[in-house]
Structure 1
């Protein structure tokens, strides 16, 4: 009996050694579509991760972002060199929203913001479900510089009204964000959102770490920060400012 116990112990020890020698399960990685190149991975507060990539067939300056939460990717968006919101796709319900550049009075301009410190905009978007929305507001640099994970950024205040096709205000948004001149990207930080019923929510988001080609966290598909906290009130149908612009 003792020999059997000893033999079993040796077998278990050997099996344990085999498992110890096996590599840990690899973290899932983000893979951009064919013809596209991943540029940057940004871990965000509120349990989100954003992967920015460019595609060979797009206009110069265009870039895409795929945003994922703890359940996987849920939003994809393309902006142009002026950070205009050209199109976005909700991966949860298939809604596609596109900029109506010709029908807009004053499209957003990142170049104007950098040159003058302020950019006013008044643009229209249309979805494949027939929803038409008008976004009126401004972005304004505060003159304050900051750095997150070694990446230089600048603080930028914003205010926005969202109207329906009939001109009714359905939501207002205001808060603080940061911009990257080099990446030509807006990142959310703090925002107060109020819908047409007067329901209001304040969120705190924004980047925590940046990863570039060769960095360990580059192409991460899983968010790392605040995932044990309930950070948003989904009942207000409140997309992040990062997703918007």
Structure 2
């Protein structure tokens, strides 16, 4: 499946026969080419994430206080998570947050989607808060995955960012746009707003 997103990004979704059942990949492309690829499992856990520009690879540590669970979100309307990732540079990060179904639904390019809200905090191994994010995403139970939306984040330097990578079109095999790696939407706009942030992180 090929998905065109806001923010001048195209996404290729695919599966590999050698992976575990339920695993799926996505590779994101901007105007300079492929930039990021990741693999999730059937519960949408972040099994492997690859920055294709700098070679940094993050993998999920098998032990977690509370792994992400797509099935729990679909059944109960909420899923909390608290897990660690480790990069090939040796950095360990703790990811704590929650996803919630809002009860709202929408249809984008013929695909029915449920809206979610999320909040997430990322900590260093020593417990320092590095990034705090909140926002809205979309989920499709049949696809078994999340799609981006409007997000606001703050990092340890005080930088504040607002992004929108909501899906705009979905193309399945045989449909126009399937397989395209050229982003279409918002490519002439600056989608990231950065400004100093003053205040206390909640």
Aligned to 1:218: 178
1:86 Cα deviation (Å)? Answer: 0.1
Q: Does 1:167 align with 2:121?
A: no
**Does the aligned pair in 1 maintain the 2:161–2:195 contact within 8 Å?**
no
User: Out of 53, 58, 70, which is 1:97 matched to?
Assistant: 58
In the alignment, the residues of structure 2 paired with residue 235 and residue 61 of structure 1 have an alpha-carbon distance, to the nearest angstrom, of 40
Aligned to 1:148: 108
Aligned to 2:165: 205
Structure richer in helix, relative to its length: 1
Structure 1: runs of 5 or more not aligned: 1-39, 237-245
Aligned to 1:79: 40
Aligned to 2:199: none
Q: Does 1:54 align with 2:26?
A: no
User: Out of 172, 178, 202, which is 2:138 matched to?
Assistant: 178
Moved over 3 A (4+): 233-236
RMSD of equivalent CA atoms: 1.4
1:55 Cα deviation (Å)? Answer: 0.5
In the alignment, the residues of structure 1 paired with residue 194 and residue 159 of structure 2 have an alpha-carbon distance, to the nearest angstrom, of 12
Secondary structure of 2:4 counterpart: strand
Decide whether aligned partners of structure 1 residues 234 and 64 sit closer, same or farther in structure 2, where only a CA change above 3 A counts: farther
| Counterpart mapping for 1:22-37 below 5 A | none
Decide whether aligned partners of structure 1 residues 58 and 235 sit closer, same or farther in structure 2, where only a CA change above 3 A counts: farther
Length, aligned pairs only: 196
Secondary structure of 1:94 counterpart: coil
In the alignment, the residues of structure 2 paired with residue 233 and residue 125 of structure 1 have an alpha-carbon distance, to the nearest angstrom, of 28
Q: TM-score, normalised by structure 1?
A: 0.78
**Residues 37-71 of structure 1: per-residue CA shift (max 9 Å, x gap):** xxx10000000000000001000000000100011
**Residues 54-91 of structure 1: per-residue CA shift (max 9 Å, x gap):** 00100000000010001100101000000000001111
Secondary structure of 1:112 counterpart: helix
In the alignment, the residues of structure 1 paired with residue 7 and residue 84 of structure 2 have an alpha-carbon distance, to the nearest angstrom, of 28
Q: TM-score, normalised by structure 2?
A: 0.94
Rg (Cα) greater in structure:
1
Q: Does 1:188 align with 2:148?
A: yes
Secondary structure of 2:15 counterpart: strand
Structure richer in strand, relative to its length: 2
Decide whether aligned partners of structure 1 residues 234 and 213 sit closer, same or farther in structure 2, where only a CA change above 3 A counts: farther
Secondary structure of 1:55 counterpart: coil
